[in-house]
Amino acid sequence: MVISLGLGTMLLSGMTKNEAKERIEKLRQLIEHHRYLYHVLDKQEISDAALDALKHELKQLEDQYPDLITADSPTQRVGGVALEKFAKVTHQAPMLSIEDVFSFTEFQEWEARIAKFVDGKSLEYYAMLKIDGLALSLVYEGGTLKSAATRGDGRIGEDVTHNIKTIEAIPLSLRQPSADEFAAIGVAPFDVTRGRFEIRGEVYMPKDAFETLNNERKERGEELFANPRNVAAGSIRQLDPTITATRPLEFFAWRMVSDVGQGTHSVGVEVVKALGYRPSLGRVAKTRADVQAFFDEIGKKRDALNFWIDGVVVRVNDDRVFDSLGIVGKTPRGIVAWKFPAEESTTVVESVDWYVGRTGALTPVATVTPTFIAGTTVTHATLHNADEIERLGLMVGDTVILTKAGDIIPKITRVLPELRSGKETSVPLPSTCPMCGSPVERREGEVALVCTNANCFAVERERVLHAVRAFGIDGLGDKIVEKLLNAKLVNTPPDIFTLTPDELQGVEGFAEVSAKKLADEIAGKKVIDLDAFIVALGIRHVGAETAFSLAQAFGDIDHLVHASKEELLSISDIGEVVADAIVEFFASEYALHVLAEYHKVGVHVNKAKAVKRTLAGLSFVVTGTLESMGRDEVKEKIRLMGGSVVGSVSKKTSYVVVGAEPGSKAQKAQELGVPVLNEAQFLKLLEG
């Protein structure tokens, strides 16, 4: 779709025809560069998926501007160039390439295109695996293998017969099927020793063999192979067949090229099988639903297969119809490769925005031209921090490779500077917070830029969201929190508990029922356990685990608020940094305000259950060795239960705990009349 603006034709993407022309030329150069690396030098710098994405973009631009198609465009050629070191074989019928589609929608578009050529008649297909290997043409004369050739440029391939003979899956002479077999297949019997027969298929390296090979290379300190197709290609194109023989290669036949009266692709597959070949897995698909079912089925089995496949090839089953559909460019119309969702694609970075997190750290996020990766449309990619932008050399407007592994947020893994038009701009590093305008700083030893304003809007939003999660309040997501903050209904987390159904109803997106529901949900979450409440406060470095330790150690929030750094450090899993952060937090005005507000709105914090503060107000001196616990543990237990541990005995000391081999302190206690506890008595006291 194009929009005419009177200033020349502008694509919806915003590209003028001149810009499209320039982009097309750059895409061609880059694709050619990587194809040369790949096909001629057997080197791979970017993934197949990324290269496919570039080719796909080129094809779409050329579809939009057919007059910009040139004979030397990568879309108009196949394979690579035959290496000089090999003898040349001219293919009797050219080995053409196959058009790729990347979704069911694109598959349906392909179907609609060919439907026009067959007057809308419904077509039967043959669907088969798309093996990730190297295509070969095998020619037999007099029943024996005469030549084996690579695709080359589609017209002229490389003669690799001597290497192919090392692959046991390829018969050196054709098997003669019996009359019964011919009858079962449905073709008239023929003599395999008479005439010329051509079979095509794919040579590949099995997954397990590839792994073994790479393990051996690793042990020898040799460079690892990047992917099995490269190894298969490299092995076949060795000048020394003894090297090829050491590489365990396999072969799947996928097509009987010679006309033996098969009439359809599926019968042709039966013929190759009878001639001694293992055909690629496939089946007749009568409808597009059948094709989809095959695609889904294979997608599920994919990982369990001992060879790599990257999609499903769908071909019009009837050979006569297939031929009548003809060729467009260098690809036959009647066949298409439907590829599995790629985990990588290319796209363009449209802008980089900085977001402020709960701790005030600024994270750059790239907005990209929507692209389809691993089954989902991606519009944003994380850039982690300013260092990452520098490492990538990223500019706004750059074409980049986007990778998505598992469920992780997509990541920009490579910039393609070759595609720059000159209009790219450097990514602005913020000197002020994009949310509140306060200066940003880089904390010592950290890579992140941080907003210096403790009350930054975004910081508040994240704080509120953080508290919402800690209180376990459902139905209060980031969008709603943002609206509540904008409406000044919420400023700090405790304000959540002041929200009334009426107030909520005034917020866009709420109706009477939903407002009441959320208000009820919030009211139901007013009682909270101490550890969850500590989490809700959002103290730096204090996660759920630390919060639990703090709750156990201090029992209630008042004790924690007044804890000294020394007391905090006496807790086994709390170090300097965390202790400082806690002290700093509770000394802040923000903390005072928030705690007072929580109290005012009626939030009830449950005391930590496990701790009985029965030793509150008591002071202890410990001397000698206890059997059941170490000295530090004794001290921590006493502190946990509210008591204090002092170093020397005085009249004020409540108890002296005496273990084995006590020092002079035990005697001092007796002199001063301070009660002395042996280990058993002390343990009893701890039990309460």
456 labelled binding-site residue: yes
* Distance between first and last Cα of the chain: 80
Helices and strands counted in the chain (H then E): 25, 30
Residue whose CB is less far from Zn ion, 433 or 476: 433
Task: Indicate the burial class of 273 (C-beta count within 10 angstroms; 0-12, 13-18, 19 or more).
Answer: middle
Which residues neighbour 684 within 8 Å (Cβ) at sequence distance 6 or greater?
Answer: none
Which residues neighbour 381 within 8 Å (Cβ) at sequence distance 6 or greater?
Answer: 349, 365, 366, 368, 400, 402, 409, 410, 411, 412
Total residues in contact with Zn ion, by rule CB under 5 A: 7
User: Could you tell me the smallest distance in angstroms from the CB atom of residue 455 to Zn ion?
Assistant: 8
561 contacts Zn ion (rule: CB under 5 A): no
409 labelled binding-site residue: no
Query: How would DSSP label each residue in 275-325?
Result: TT-PBPSEEEE-SHHHHHHHHHHHHHHGGGSSS-EEEEEEEESBHHHHHHH
Phi and psi angles of residue 644, each rounded to the nearest 5 degrees, phi first: -125, 155
Catalytic-residue membership of 55: no
Show contacts of 610-615: CB within 8 Å, 24+ apart: 610/552, 611/552, 611/553, 611/555, 611/640, 611/641, 612/641, 612/688, 613/555, 613/641, 613/642, 614/641, 614/642, 614/688, 615/641, 615/642, 615/643, 615/685
451 contacts Zn ion (rule: CB under 5 A): yes
440 contacts Zn ion (rule: CB under 5 A): no
Residue whose CB is less far from Zn ion, 274 or 456: 456
User: Could you tell me the smallest distance in angstroms from the CB atom of residue 453 to Zn ion?
Assistant: 5
433 labelled binding-site residue: yes
Residue whose CB is less far from Zn ion, 356 or 532: 356
User: Could you tell me the smallest distance in angstroms from the CB atom of residue 463 to Zn ion?
Assistant: 12
Among 83, 305, 365, 436, binds Zn ion (CB under 5 A): 436
How many other CB atoms sit within 10 Å of the CB of residue 382? 16
In three-state form (DSSP H/G/I as H, E/B as E, the rest C), the secondary structure along 143-191 is: CEEEEEEECCCCCEEEECHHHHCCCCCCCCECCCCCHHHHHHHCCCCCC
427 contacts Zn ion (rule: CB under 5 A): no
User: Could you tell me the smallest distance in angstroms from the CB atom of residue 601 to Zn ion?
Assistant: 26
User: Could you tell me the smallest distance in angstroms from the CB atom of residue 481 to Zn ion?
Assistant: 16
Q: How far is CA 425 from CA 352, 355, 379, 396, in A?
A: 11, 20, 20, 5
456 contacts Zn ion (rule: CB under 5 A): yes
Pick the piece of the chain touching Zn ion (CB under 5 A) from 8-16, 405-413, 434-442, 565-573.
434-442
Residue whose CB is less far from Zn ion, 185 or 458: 458
Query: How would DSSP label each residue in 33-45?
Result: HHHIIIIIT---S
Residue whose CB is less far from Zn ion, 350 or 353: 353
Tokens of 50: 């990324």
Pick the piece of the chain touching Zn ion (CB under 5 A) from 138-146, 218-226, 300-308, 425-433.
425-433
Amino acid making up residue 157: G
Catalytic-labelled residue, pool 26, 55, 59, 130? 130
202 labelled binding-site residue: yes
User: Could you tell me the smallest distance in angstroms from the CB atom of residue 434 to Zn ion?
Assistant: 8
309 labelled binding-site residue: no
Residue whose CB is less far from Zn ion, 122 or 452: 452
373 labelled binding-site residue: no
390 labelled binding-site residue: no
Interstrand relation of 425-426 and 395-396 (parallel, antiparallel or unpaired): antiparallel
433 contacts Zn ion (rule: CB under 5 A): yes
Residue whose CB is less far from Zn ion, 81 or 365: 365
522 contacts Zn ion (rule: CB under 5 A): no
User: Could you tell me the smallest distance in angstroms from the CB atom of residue 441 to Zn ion?
Assistant: 11
Annotated binding site: 97-98, 151, 202, 339, 433, 436, 451, 456
Residues that bind Zn ion (CB under 5 A): 433, 435-436, 438, 451, 453, 456
Task: Just list the catalytic residues.
Answer: 130
Annotated binding site for NAD(+): 97-98, 151, 202, 339
Annotated binding site for Zn(2+): 433, 436, 451, 456
